[in-house]
Amino acid sequence: MSKVMVLNQKAIEEVLDMKQVIEVIEKVYLSKSTDSAVVWPMIFYEFEPGNADMDIKSGYLKENEIYGLKLVSWFSENGKKELPLLYGTTLVFDSNTGAPIGLLDAEYITGMRTGAAGAIGAKYLARKDSENLLMIGAGHQATFQIAATLIAMDNINTVRIYDAMDLDKAKSLSSSLKEKLTEKFLSRYEKGTELYDSIAKKFDANVEVVTDIKEAVGKSDIIITATPSRKPMIMKEWVKKGTHFSCVGSDMEGKQEIDENIFKSARVYVDDIVQAIKVGEVEIPIKKGIVEKKDIIAEIGELVAGYTSGRNSDDDITIYDTTGIALQDLATSKLALDLAKEKGLGVEVDL
């Protein structure tokens, strides 16, 4: 008999704060680079090609004393049934005993850990004096990316939002951003504390909707792309010296968000080298022969560990290509379980 904590999205939203998630994901990257983490082979199955599929990603995080899996199902017809198209479920085990310890909805955790990933790219690779953040894509992931990057960086004063597909979406995000940041992220900290005040100040950046992407790119120090795009939206000629890219959207063969030529003269980092080459933003530049595998400087964990250097000068273009790994979900799930226990949230069941 085991005590298993069940955390749904509501409970997870209540316990997770982005600053802690960023710290957890940095440690995951570090564990991966120091071989104290293992990613197991992914299982992927298409029930109906192009219409319904599922994958199981699993792994072991020695330092967090957990292993487990995340199963994500995508059923394109669910909209007609008024059900979500995606279901994500995470199951966590204690690696000291093998006992199941947690069952969690994966959606909000995926948002948090992906936001943290983009921000960690900026933290380790962007210029410290970066003031202008350009968010490409105004979908579900955008708020997580903006919140995390504002928290991870110290000098951002302008956030620009661009959406190639849907200007109204960009406008709507822009007008609701402050409220969302306050409600979903700032409210996790205690009012009156130094931490609260510092994050509140960071969240007070100007927010603008962008229609001329070329002009916006030219003004940006940090560009985060989180779209389902299959062709480049940002051309090399538009990019000013010293720009950092966190490419978050590409996680499947054929996806591409930025001009492959940007890679030629950029310093390129990835979260997982095998996966990035297969499905990340670096897939196309490698397939087109613009860069080779050896041109990828390192996995980000090696940068976090200090095994390799990041940007060499204020003029470098840097790219962090993140495809997302199960270890991020597991570590963030463990954080949520620990916090929920502390705060008496979630439902504990006898399994």
In whole angstroms, the minimum distance from the beta carbon of 140 to its own copies comes to 16
Residue 274 binds to its own copies (criterion: CB under 8 A): no
Residue 193 binds to its own copies (criterion: CB under 8 A): no
Tell me the CB-side half-sphere exposure of residue 192, using CA atoms within 13 A: 0
In whole angstroms, the minimum distance from the beta carbon of 254 to its own copies comes to 23
Q: Write out the binding residues for its own copies, residues 38-67 only, by CB under 8 A.
A: 38, 40-41, 43, 45, 47, 52, 54, 56, 58, 60, 67
- What whole-number distance in Å separates Cα of residue 43 and Cα of residue 73? 12
Residue 9 binds to its own copies (criterion: CB under 8 A): yes
Residue 347 binds to its own copies (criterion: CB under 8 A): yes
Please count the other Cβ atoms lying within 10 Å of the Cβ belonging to residue 118: 27
Contact present, 340 and 15 (Cβ < 8 Å): yes
Q: Token pair for residue 145?
A: 């990316």
In whole angstroms, the minimum distance from the beta carbon of 8 to its own copies comes to 5
Closest CB to its own copies among residues 305, 345: 345
Q: Name 68's bridge partners.
A: 59, 92
- What whole-number distance in Å separates Cα of residue 312 and Cα of residue 335? 34
The DSSP secondary-structure symbol of 41 reads: P
In whole angstroms, the minimum distance from the beta carbon of 340 to its own copies comes to 13
In whole angstroms, the minimum distance from the beta carbon of 329 to its own copies comes to 15
The site map against its own copies for 277-316 (x = CB under 8 A) is ----------------------------------------
Closest CB to its own copies among residues 304, 330: 330
Q: Write out the binding residues for its own copies, residues 62-101 only, by CB under 8 A.
A: 67, 69, 71, 73-75, 78, 81, 83, 86-87, 89, 91, 93, 95-100
Q: Tell me the C-alpha to C-alpha distance, in Å, between residue 303 and each of 63, 69, 112, 123, 310.
A: 19, 26, 21, 11, 7
Closest CB to its own copies among residues 252, 347: 347
In DSSP notation, 68-125 reads EEEEEEEEGGGGGGT--SEEEEEEEEETTT--EEEEEE-HHHHHHHHHHHHHHHHHHH
Closest CB to its own copies among residues 84, 228: 84
3-state helix, strand, coil in the chain (%, to 5): 40, 30, 30
Identify the CA nearest to 92 among candidates 336, 296, 325, 293: 336
Q: Name 225's bridge partners.
A: 136, 247
21-51 as b/e: b if 16+ CB within 10 A: bbebbbbbbbbbbeeebebeeeeeeeeeeee
Residue 2 binds to its own copies (criterion: CB under 8 A): yes
In whole angstroms, the minimum distance from the beta carbon of 183 to its own copies comes to 20
Total residues at interface with its own copies (CB under 8 A): 44
- Binding window for its own copies (CB under 8 A); candidates: 18-26, 33-41, 122-130, 275-283: 33-41
Contact present, 289 and 260 (Cβ < 8 Å): no
Applying CB under 8 A, which residues contact its own copies? 1-2, 4, 6, 8-9, 38, 40-41, 43, 45, 47, 52, 54, 56, 58, 60, 67, 69, 71, 73-75, 78, 81, 83, 86-87, 89, 91, 93, 95-100, 103-105, 347, 349-351
